[in-house]
Structure 1
């Protein structure tokens, strides 16, 4: 929930997630290749599945980075009123 006191210079963790995904992509590709070469098909398949997960995550991160900040509220959007409790529906 936005309270109106968020920092104006907050940064998205997408760049960090991008670099961690690249790191994971390298290690899963390496693991898949090594396990396939030493004759461990189960471990190679597990690394291959992780490789696919990392590729999908990396594609989503790149997509979000290319979209830019258009989905985030800008300075012209007023902050939400803080929730003071007691007036909304109970969960």
Structure 2
């Protein structure tokens, strides 16, 4: 459980999740194209579904990154302390 008081050196997994989703999107799109050219419509549809999931995940991750360092995942999580300058 998060306390909202994480260490100063804590890192957000959002950038890693962004790159992994992008990597998955590239491979899923390539799989969709390859299976379509090979005439395997079932596999092409499966890869297309994975590509769609990757696109949605990328959109969510980019939205969370744009919210900045004070993104709060839910109302049950206490707020962060204000930044000290």
- TM-score tier (shorter): 0.7 to 0.9
1:30-73: CA deviations, max 9, x gaps? 00000000000000000001110000000000000011012351
| Residues in 2 aligned to 1:21 and 1:64: alpha-carbon distance in whole angstroms | 14
Q: Under a length normalisation based on structure 2, what TM-score does the superposition of the two structures give?
A: 0.79
Instruction: Specify the SS of the correspondent of 2:55.
Output: helix
Q: Under a length normalisation based on structure 1, what TM-score does the superposition of the two structures give?
A: 0.74
Q: CA deviation at 1:21?
A: 0.6
Task: List structure 1 runs of 4+ shifted beyond 2 angstroms.
Answer: 1-4
| Residues in 2 aligned to 1:57 and 1:22: alpha-carbon distance in whole angstroms | 9
Q: Unaligned regions of 5+ residues in structure 1, if any? A: 77-91
State the match for 2:69 in structure 1.
69
- Is 1:46 the counterpart of 2:42? The answer is no
Q: Unaligned regions of 5+ residues in structure 2, if any? A: 73-79
Instruction: Go from structure 1 to structure 2 and tell me whether the alpha carbon gap of 1:48 and 1:17 turns closer, same or farther (over 3 Å shift).
Output: same
State the match for 1:57 in structure 2.
57
User: Considering only aligned residues, what root-mean-square deviation do their CA atoms show, in Å?
Assistant: 1.8
Instruction: Specify the SS of the correspondent of 1:70.
Output: coil
